[in-house]
């Protein structure tokens, strides 16, 4: 499932921006489809423009009915009536999403014989201090079993001693949910930490749920700003 909201506070209409001949959202849809990992790939949008674009290009697309605070809320509405076990949320601004990373996140559930894990997500190591300090880059810290402890736009852990050996991880906007976890997410009210940071994964942590993080070394480019789009155009070439 690919949530695709037309408006974005940092970069309005970013999903319809041109990325070497095709809009960003279409590039993302085609990249997910090309992995051949899924029973179905669907764009879920609030935009008639995006809906028409995906439809015209032979893709599967649904219009969301309600107003949603996050992409996961939008996905929860979309899968409520579907007969699925696992739904994977790939953000619409992830045109560089790769097969290996998605295979790793799917493997979390294949290996979870007792069905104890409700949610998994991706993280990648980062070393550039400009990126670590950038509030557009969401960071995550994990325990010894790679379960998330917290997500933040601030540098975490705080670098009081840069030589202490901590690894900094960037959270990639890919989530894999059991269907029941998505239903819970939609019902749980937003609490102050999520509202403050504007990071939807925090909602699960605030309600005591566990998020299994999967490390990937494929960084890609998430398109959050016009500068990201220019970097993406160069990378796409």
pLDDT band (50, 70, 90) for residue 7: confident
Interval 224-231 mean pLDDT: 91
- Please, which pLDDT band fits residue 182 given cuts at 50, 70 and 90? confident
From residue 153, give the alpha-carbon distance in Å to each of 2, 131, 134: 23, 10, 7
pLDDT at residue 183 in the model: 84
**Torsions phi, psi for 213 (to 5 deg):** -100, 140
Look at residue 55 in the predicted model and tell me its pLDDT.
97
Contacts of 132 (CB under 8 A, 6+ apart): 126, 139, 155, 159, 168
pLDDT in tens, 139-149: 999 999 999 99
- Reported as a pLDDT band with limits 50, 70 and 90, residue 73 is confident
HSE on the CB side for 88, CA within 13 Å? 25
- Whole-number pLDDT of residue 136: 87
Report how far residue 61's alpha carbon sits from residue 209's, in angstroms, rounded to the nearest whole number.
30
What DSSP string runs through 207-229? TT---EEEE---------SHHHH
pLDDT tens digits along 76-122: 888 888 888 999 999 999 999 999 999 999 999 999 988 889 899 99
Give the CA count within 13 Å in the CB-facing half-sphere of 6.
12
Tell me the mean pLDDT in the region 61-75: 78
Global pTM value: 0.84
Q: Does the pLDDT at position 124 exceed 70?
A: yes
HEC letters along 113-125 = CCCCCCEEEEEEE
Res. 34: pLDDT tops 90: yes
- β-pairing, 86-90 with 168-178? antiparallel
- CA–CA separation, 43 and 41 (whole Å): 7
pLDDT score at 221 = 87
pLDDT in the model for residue 146: 95
Residue 112 neighbours by CB under 8 Å, 6+ apart? none
Mean pLDDT, rounded, for 28-54: 94
* pLDDT value for 217: 86
Query: Which pLDDT value is given to residue 142?
Result: 97
Give the DSSP per-residue string, 72-95. Answer: HHHHHHHHTTS--SEEEEE-TT-T
pLDDT at 66: 64
Share of the chain above pLDDT 90, in %: 66
Q: What is the pLDDT of residue 222?
A: 86
Least Cα distance to 181 among 155, 152, 153, 203 occurs for 203
């Amino acid at each position: 499932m690919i949530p695709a909201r037309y408006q974005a506070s940092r970069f309005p209409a970013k999903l319809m921006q041109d990325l070497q001949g095709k809009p960003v959202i279409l590039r993302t849809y085609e990249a997910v489809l090309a992995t051949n990992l899924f029973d179905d790939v669907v764009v879920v949008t609030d935009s008639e423009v995006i809906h028409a674009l995906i439809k015209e290009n032979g893709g599967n697309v649904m219009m969301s009915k309600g107003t949603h605070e996050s992409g996961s809320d939008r996905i929860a509405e979309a899968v409520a009536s579907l007969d699925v076990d696992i739904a994977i949320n790939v953000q619409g601004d992830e045109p560089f999403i790769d097969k290996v990373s998605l295979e790793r996140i799917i493997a979390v559930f294949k290996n979870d014989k007792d069905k104890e894990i409700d949610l998994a997500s991706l993280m990648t190591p980062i070393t550039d201090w400009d990126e670590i300090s950038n509030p557009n880059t969401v960071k995550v810290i994990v325990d010894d079993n790679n379960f998330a402890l917290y997500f933040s736009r601030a540098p975490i852990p705080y670098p009081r001693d840069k030589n202490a050996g901590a690894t900094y991880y960037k959270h990639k906007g890919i989530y894999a949910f059991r269907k029941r976890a998505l239903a819970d997410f939609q019902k749980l009210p937003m609490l102050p930490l999520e509202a403050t940071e504007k990071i939807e994964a925090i909602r699960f942590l605030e309600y005591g749920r566990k998020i299994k993080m999967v490390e990937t070394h494929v960084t890609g480019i998430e398109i959050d700003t016009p500068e990201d789009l220019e970097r993406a155009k160069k990378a796409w070439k």
